């Protein structure tokens, strides 16, 4: 007799557990009925034959491994030595990219089950599509490392409290969120948006910084402090841009189709050109353009484009 068939587990709890005196069978049955109602309404099979969606926990471990592979001597294991760096990076990538391929396959399978087409070559199997997606992602890692170096340097140069680039990489939540974003954005571009969104939300939960993986962000990006920052899906940010806490780069309106459903995918978030600074609490909404070298002051509410070199303060904005 297996452990699952043991009389001690009739009510779904282990012997000696805190719930040993509770009657759980009706709760289990009602939860099963609720699951079946949901799956029927969504036209999903009641028994899908295993896990249907990617795992948040697995992706968290993958991201941690990728952070270590990108910055081995600072975000890798504490006992790592320079002479074993390449071995650690190779071994880590082999492990985490293999795990990532499994997660990509889960998303592609889920997408295909609902009538979508995968990102790979026409006629390729899901496994082939997953492998080619992860191979392309692996090849992008050196470029992602270069982008992140520019972000770390921008943070160090832009914050007088930063004593070293190492402090920035180890301590700054904006850098943590930016690492996740650079990884997530690459996966988003390669046609696995659900994985990308989970990776973005991992950083959101850890730092309070919410960057949609679809946002396009140039090199030298610095989020100072960071809590409460929101950057929408179709935002375009140029080079050497600095933003502070509680900044929102969001949408002003959400157009609907004839059926009343929201029209998705339209450009609806700001374009922020090179060398712009957006101070704490500012809100910029809609497909507006903030011209190169502009400064948006704290707590400004902005729904119009501004030309290059503009300084917008709260008092000036209110008077206009």
Query: pLDDT value at position 1?
Result: 44
For residue range 217-269, what is the model confidence (pLDDT) as tens digits?
A: 999 999 999 999 999 999 999 999 999 999 999 999 777 777 777 777 789 99
What distance, in Å, lies between the first and last C-alpha atoms of the chain? 79
For residue range 88-116, what is the model confidence (pLDDT) as tens digits?
A: 999 999 999 999 999 999 999 888 876 66
For residue range 168-216, what is the model confidence (pLDDT) as tens digits?
A: 999 999 999 999 999 999 999 999 999 999 999 999 999 999 999 999 9
In 3D space, the residue among 320, 269, 266 whose CA is nearest the CA of residue 297 turns out to be 320
More confident residue, 298 or 8: 298
How far apart (Å, rounded) are the C-alpha atoms in residues 136 and 128?
A: 12
How far apart (Å, rounded) are the C-alpha atoms in residues 205 and 189?
A: 23
Q: At what angle do helices 85-113 and 56-70 cross, to 10 degrees?
A: 150
pLDDT exceeds 50 at position 9? no
pLDDT exceeds 80 at position 54? yes
Query: pLDDT value at position 116?
Result: 63
- Radius of gyration of the CA atoms of the chain, in A: 24
Could you tell me the CA-to-CA distances from 86 to 28, 69, 73, 77, 99 in Å, in that order?
50, 9, 11, 13, 20
More confident residue, 317 or 276: 276
Query: pLDDT value at position 197?
Result: 98
Q: Choose the weakest-confidence range: 50-54, 67-71, 94-98, 315-319.
A: 315-319
Q: Where are the alpha helices (DSSP H) in 71-163?
A: 72-75, 85-113, 126-158
Query: pLDDT value at position 10?
Result: 43
Query: pLDDT value at position 254?
Result: 75
pTM of the model: 0.85
For residue range 120-160, what is the model confidence (pLDDT) as tens digits?
A: 656 678 899 999 999 999 999 999 999 999 999 999 999 99
Query: pLDDT value at position 15?
Result: 54
Query: pLDDT value at position 120?
Result: 60
Indicate the pairing of strand 230-231 with strand 210-211.
Answer: parallel
More confident residue, 77 or 119: 77
Domains parsed from the chain with CATH numbers: 50-209 (1.10.3130.10), 228-320 (2.160.10.10)
């Amino acid at each position: 007799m297996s452990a699952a068939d043991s009389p001690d587990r009739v009510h779904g709890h282990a012997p000696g557990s805190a719930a040993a005196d509770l009657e759980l069978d009706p709760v289990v049955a009602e939860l099963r009925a609720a699951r079946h109602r949901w799956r029927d309404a969504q036209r999903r099979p009641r028994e899908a034959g295993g896990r249907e969606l990617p795992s948040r926990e697995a992706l968290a471990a993958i991201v941690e491994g990728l952070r270590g592979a990108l910055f081995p001597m600072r975000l890798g294991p504490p006992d790592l030595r320079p002479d074993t760096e390449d071995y650690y990076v190779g071994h880590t990538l082999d492990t985490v990219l293999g795990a990532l391929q499994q997660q990509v396959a889960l998303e592609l399978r889920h997408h295909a089950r609902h009538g979508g087409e995968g990102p790979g070559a026409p006629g390729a199997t899901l496994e082939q599509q997953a492998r080619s997606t992860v191979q392309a992602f692996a090849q992008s890692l050196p470029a992602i490392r270069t982008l992140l170096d520019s972000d770390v340097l921008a943070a160090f140069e832009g914050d007088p409290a930063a004593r070293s680039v190492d402090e920035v990489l180890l301590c700054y939540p904006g850098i943590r969120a930016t690492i996740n974003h650079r990884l997530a954005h690459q996966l988003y571009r390669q046609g696995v948006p659900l994985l990308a969104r989970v990776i973005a939300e991992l950083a959101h939960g850890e730092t309070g910084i919410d960057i949609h993986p679809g946002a396009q962000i140039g090199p030298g990006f610095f989020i100072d402090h960071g809590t409460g920052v929101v950057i929408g899906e179709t935002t375009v940010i140029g080079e050497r841009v600095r933003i502070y806490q509680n900044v929102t780069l969001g949408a002003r309106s959400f157009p609907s189709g004839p059926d009343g459903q929201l029209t998705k995918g339209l450009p609806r978030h700001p374009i922020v050109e090179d060398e712009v600074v957006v101070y704490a609490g500012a809100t910029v909404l809609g497909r507006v353009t903030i011209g190169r070298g502009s400064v948006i002051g704290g707590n400004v509410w902005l729904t119009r484009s501004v030309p290059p070199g503009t300084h917008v303060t709260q008092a000036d904005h209110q008077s206009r």
